[in-house]
């Protein structure tokens, strides 16, 4: 039977190599040689009787078995980290790695994340920006923030705020191209759109209007560059109201079709119920809820 301590070291080496796709970089992150990482992974493969990596002279990549085991390995290390964090609770200093998945409106969360890292410097934040549907428990995330309601009964959740949508353009664009009077007029305008990772283009929240008829003059995979483009006068775009509140109030952007927009959405934070007792999770939930609540409250 393998020594549990040795097995744990091998698992750490495997996860570091999987994350970096390099034995050398994994060794640097763990303070050992690349050959030590290779030997640790080989021992783990021997224990599991399967190959975890495809190896060439230049690169390594996960096998199907490696991808499957990575999920379990992360969970094991996360459980260990949570146990260490619980023991550290008496010291009042949350610590350890905290894996958070955020929507692609990334810069909106910057102030809140900065406030958290300032208050809890011993917590190592690992941020994943994505619009895909996350299985929080299976993928080993501590906290996920998404737009929309949740129906997963395994998770606790907190509503960060409800928000409307705005179609906007810069005053310079409106002066140059004019403002559309009807939805049909959009066919003569530059429309800045976002495409989700699923391939679907984000709909615009117009009453009784099929978004499919709105042209794709420019499409990006994330929303933040669309705001820069709209501010620069490149065209008309759709945003959550909280992202453009300041730009509308100071006149950098002007509203389009306000009377025709009726859709509202909700921003929700979710986390596994079993993890709320862990200080790093509890403090993150409380801090981000307070910070984002203030941001969305105007």
d(CA 13, CA 30): 8
Determine which of 20-24, 116-120, 133-137 has the lowest per-residue pLDDT on average.
133-137
Q: Are 211 and 284 members of one domain? A: yes
| Confidence category of residue 8, pLDDT binned at 50, 70, 90 | confident
Q: What pTM value is reported for the model? A: 0.64
Q: Are 181 and 284 members of one domain? A: yes
Q: Are 128 and 212 members of one domain? A: yes
Q: Are 154 and 215 members of one domain? A: yes
The residue with greater pLDDT, 94 or 249, is 249
Cα–Cα nearest to 158, from 43, 273, 242, 274: 273
In the numeric block, which tokens belong to residue 143?
Answer: 């906290």
Query: If 0-12 CB within 10 Å is exposed, 13-18 middle and 19+ buried, where does residue 5 land?
Result: exposed
Mean pLDDT of the chain: 84
Domain region containing 47: 4-70
Residues in the chain: 298
pLDDT digits (tens, 9 = 90+) for 163-180: 888 999 999 999 999 999
pLDDT digits (tens, 9 = 90+) for 135-165: 776 677 889 988 866 666 667 888 888 888 8
Classify residue 87: in a domain, yes or no: no
As for how many domains the chain has, the answer is: 2
Classify residue 80: in a domain, yes or no: no
- Which one of 70, 105, 125 terminates a domain? 70
Classify residue 210: in a domain, yes or no: yes
Q: Residue 284 above 90 pLDDT? A: yes
d(CA 101, CA 136): 9
| Confidence category of residue 250, pLDDT binned at 50, 70, 90 | very high
Q: Are 99 and 27 members of one domain? A: no
Classify residue 124: in a domain, yes or no: yes
Classify residue 75: in a domain, yes or no: no
Q: What is the reported pLDDT for 90?
A: 52
Cα–Cα nearest to 196, from 130, 146, 128: 130
Q: Are 227 and 183 members of one domain? A: yes
In the numeric block, which tokens belong to residue 114?
Answer: 């900065």
In the numeric block, which tokens belong to residue 13?
Answer: 């080496």
- Which one of 70, 85, 106 terminates a domain? 70
Q: Are 169 and 129 members of one domain? A: yes
In which residue are the tokens 């934070």 written? 269
How many other β-carbons are positioned within 10 Å of the β-carbon of residue 200? 10
Q: What are phi and psi of 59, to 5 degrees?
A: -135, 165
The residue with greater pLDDT, 103 or 79, is 103
Q: What is the reported pLDDT for 192?
A: 95
pLDDT digits (tens, 9 = 90+) for 30-67: 888 889 999 999 999 999 999 999 998 888 999 999 99
CB 7 within 8 A of CB 44: yes
Classify residue 86: in a domain, yes or no: no
Helix H or strand E encompassing 143: strand 143-147
Q: What is the reported pLDDT for 1?
A: 45
Q: Are 65 and 116 members of one domain? A: no
Average pLDDT over residues 235-260: 90
Q: Are 211 and 254 members of one domain? A: yes
């Amino acid at each position: 039977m393998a020594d549990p301590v040795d097995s744990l070291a091998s698992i750490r080496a495997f996860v570091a190599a999987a994350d970096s796709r390099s034995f050398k970089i994994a060794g640097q992150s763990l303070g050992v040689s690349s050959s030590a990482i290779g030997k640790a992974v080989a021992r783990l493969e021997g224990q599991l009787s399967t190959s975890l990596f495809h190896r060439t002279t230049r690169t390594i990549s996960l096998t199907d078995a490696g991808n499957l085991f990575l999920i379990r390995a992360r969970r094991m290390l996360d459980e260990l980290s949570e146990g260490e964090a619980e023991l550290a609770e008496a010291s009042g200093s949350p610590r350890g790695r905290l894996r958070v998945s955020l929507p692609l409106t990334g810069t909106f969360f910057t102030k809140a994340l900065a406030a958290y890292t300032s208050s809890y410097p011993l917590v190592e934040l690992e941020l994943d920006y994505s619009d895909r549907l996350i299985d929080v428990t299976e993928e080993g995330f501590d906290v996920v923030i998404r737009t929309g309601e949740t129906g997963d009964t395994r998770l606790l959740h907190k509503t960060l705020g409800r928000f409307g949508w705005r179609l906007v353009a810069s005053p310079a664009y409106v002066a140059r191209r004019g403002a559309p009077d009807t939805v049909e007029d959009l066919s003569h305008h530059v429309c800045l759109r976002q495409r989700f990772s699923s391939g679907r283009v984000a709909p615009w929240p117009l009453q009784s209007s099929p978004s499919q008829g709105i042209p794709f003059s420019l499409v990006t995979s994330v929303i933040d560059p669309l705001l820069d483009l709209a501010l620069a006068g490149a065209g008309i775009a759709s945003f959550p109201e909280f992202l453009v509140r300041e730009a509308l109030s100071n006149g950098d952007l002007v509203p389009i079709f306000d009377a025709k927009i009726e859709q509202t959405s909700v921003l929700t934070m979710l986390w596994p119920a079993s993890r709320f007792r862990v200080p790093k999770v509890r403090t993150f939930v409380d801090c981000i809820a307070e910070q984002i609540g203030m941001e969305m409250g105007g």
